[in-house]
Amino acid sequence: MTIINVKANYAKVIDLILFTVATLAAAVLVMGICRPSMFGNLNVVAGVSFTVSLALLIYLHLNPDSVRARQSDTILKIARETLACFQEGLNVETAQKVCRLLLPATCAQAVAITDREYILGYVGLEEAPSTPGTPIRTKATHATIEDGRIRALHTPEEIGFPTKARNLRAGIIVPLRRGDAIIGTLKFYYRHANDITETQLTLAEGLGELMSTQIAAVELEQQTKLATTMELKALQSQINPHFLFNTINTIASLVRTDPDRARMLLREFAIFYRRTLESSDDLVELMKEIDQTMRYFTFEVARFGEDRLVMDVDVEPGLEDLMVPAFMIQPLVENAVRHAMPQEGQLRISVEAYSEGDDVYIAVSDNGIGMDAEQQRKLLSPSASKGLGIAMKNISERLTGYYGIESRMQVDSTPGDGTCVRMYLKDALLDE
């Protein structure tokens, strides 16, 4: 990178010197034409200097090595600036910043960034019909999202702008990837089809690959930090003083009335905390996660009684060894016990795991008190900062961190009729 930068800077200095010489020579020539007697032979020297400087400038700008040096310098500069933007993730704000950085670096008249459904950023001509948040309308963009091919558009019809927008008549669409998944596009628009040169195509492709690499690198870094943070939060939430106090009290009360059960619970309690404290893996087998959840549930049943709590588990055969994020199911069951318990009757909790193709669904449902639409909205709000909202937010973020942005968490609930939290793990079986 240092060598490329030195070459590019050296080329800029040479360009500046030649341009200065050509400008001075041209000035002398103009004055010599006006007053030939004053300059004499200096006109000849000025003419030769102007011709040589101009010829060298043309050569340097057409020389492939010079072109590559300038492109490399441009790419490196953009790389430094865009990486800082992507630290905040790919969203409307960062997409707009990146578009502003990319526009001056190309011959394009407009630059856009999309995800799979919407325009995230747009800078340049014809901004009005392409504001961030507008659905993608170009068929070619949808086609690139589907097949991952770079496309050059040479007519306004291919671009898909409104008929009144005539400033942009050509474009290049480059896919943005995260691994094998296509997560959006990078688009460059031009006034005329002949503006799309081989240089512009190569530059667009290089910028697309650069952005894809940066997005993947930043998300990997965030995923690593998130996994560590989530693990610590999960451990802290499980080592809850109230849960610890209540469980010990329950075991103590059974020592005289049911010593065998007290002994069993004490053994399970030791295993539960040992597994909790020993678990440092980001991913664990699905059945290991469910076993730990069932162990936790055993203590709650001992506390509240079997007439108040029951849990059913149904895991599709073959999914037992599926690797899933740790502490993904137990917090949902714990929150069902804490928040969904009716005043009377039995709370029934169900944990279900099943597959559809390469996708996996894990659902935790209950027949408890449920919640209204406003409570659900707050629960899934990105700004959730306490209680169940933190757990839901953490699990949701880890889902997208491990399985991609198409993975998600969905909450369905009706007051008085229970709640179902369903997690969708996109392509979870693809690498199994």
Q: What is the mean pLDDT of residues 349-377?
A: 91
Contact 274, 266 (CB under 8 A): no
Cα–Cα dist 332/85, whole Å:
34
Average pLDDT of every residue of the chain: 77
Question: From CA 4, how far away is CA 36, in angstroms rounded?
Answer: 46
Nearest to 365 by CA among 316, 404, 422, 321: 422
- 215-226: average pLDDT: 65
pLDDT 10s digits, 330-356: 889 988 998 889 888 999 999 999 999
For the segment 303-333, what is each residue's pLDDT rounded down to a tens digit? Answer: 899 999 999 999 999 999 999 988 889 889 9
Which tens digits make up the pLDDT trace of 274-311?
776 655 556 889 999 999 899 999 999 998 999 999 99
Q: In what order do the strands lie in the sheet with 119-124?
A: 119-124, 110-114, 181-190, 170-178, 151-153
Closest CA to 331 of 289, 278, 361, 281: 289
Distances (CA, A) of 186 to 284, 309, 381: 36, 53, 29
How much is the pLDDT for 373? 82
Q: Crossing angle of helices 42-62/64-86, nearest 10°?
A: 60
Residue position matching structure tokens 């199994």? 432
Q: Of 20-29, 148-157, 175-184, 298-307, which gets the smallest average pLDDT?
A: 20-29
Q: Which residue has the higher pLDDT, 153 or 279?
A: 153
pLDDT in tens, 55-109: 655 555 545 445 444 555 555 566 666 666 666 667 888 888 888 888 887 888 9
Which pairs count as long-range contacts for 103-109, CB under 8 Å and 24+ apart, including other chains?
Answer: 105/74, 105/77, 105/78, 105/203, 105/207, 106/188, 106/200, 106/203, 106/204, 106/207, 107/190, 107/195, 107/200, 108/172, 108/188, 108/189, 108/190, 108/200, 109/167, 109/168, 109/189, 109/190, 109/191
Of 72-81, 100-109, 128-137, 362-371, which range is least confident? 72-81
Instruction: Using pLDDT thresholds of 50, 70 and 90, give the confidence band for residue 431.
Output: low
